[in-house]
Structure 1
Amino acid sequence: MNHQSPANRSEAKPPAPAPQPLHQTDADEDDENVKQLDECSSLYLLMQDCVVRTNKDWKQCQPEVEALRECYERRKERKGQ
């Protein structure tokens, strides 16, 4: 009989978890913050897209910034009532 002791037996190890991308927790926190904007979250994402698309040229993104500001003000007024 050929018995192998547990110390000699090769045991499969579970695969190591994939490393999270750098700043993944920051991105997760950003997602949570955006969700808290409720109905304004889509406007925030549009503004963010504009900023990326224009290489951070805020002047070109003023319509998106203004739409987000107006939405946020309306939201704040409703919550204050």
Structure 2
Amino acid sequence: MAPPTASAPAPLHSDDADEDDENVKQLRECSSLYLSLQECLVNSNRNWKACQKEVQALKACNEGRREAVAGQNDAR
């Protein structure tokens, strides 16, 4: 009888950065920045301090989106 084969463990937080996730899709143009942040967090063992570049980039993108939406609403 052959020994049981060990299956490879699933990557940590693999479902956090799923490109097909509806929450990620809602980010639209910021989704790639969100996924970069998730990747950084996984690679740094969830160390937010190590991922400040990604955090700030996502923050700036979201603020830009909010301003664009507000500008569109004001134009109506």
Q: TM-score range by the shorter chain?
A: 0.5 to 0.7
Task: Give the number of aligned pairs.
Answer: 55
Shift of 1:27: 8.2
Q: Counterparts of 1:27 and 1:49 in 2: how far apart (Å)?
A: 7
Structure 2: gaps of 5 or more residues: 1-15, 72-76
Aligned letter for 2:45? N
Q: Is residue 17–residue 38 contact of structure 2 (8 Å, CA) maintained in 1?
A: no
Identity %: 62
Partner of 1:38: 28
Assess, with a 3 A threshold, how the Cα gap between structure 1 residues 27 and 43 changes in structure 2: closer, same or farther.
Answer: closer
Structure 1: gaps of 5 or more residues: 1-25
SS of equivalent residue, structure 2 residue 21: helix
TM-score (structure 1 length as normaliser): 0.63
TM-score (structure 2 length as normaliser): 0.67
Q: Counterparts of 2:40 and 2:29 in 1: how far apart (Å)?
A: 19
Q: Within 5 Å, which residues of 2 pair with 1:1-80? A: 31-80=21-70
Partner of 1:10: none
Partner of 1:3: none
Larger Rg: 1
Runs of 4+ that moved beyond 3 A:
none
Aligned letter for 1:40? C
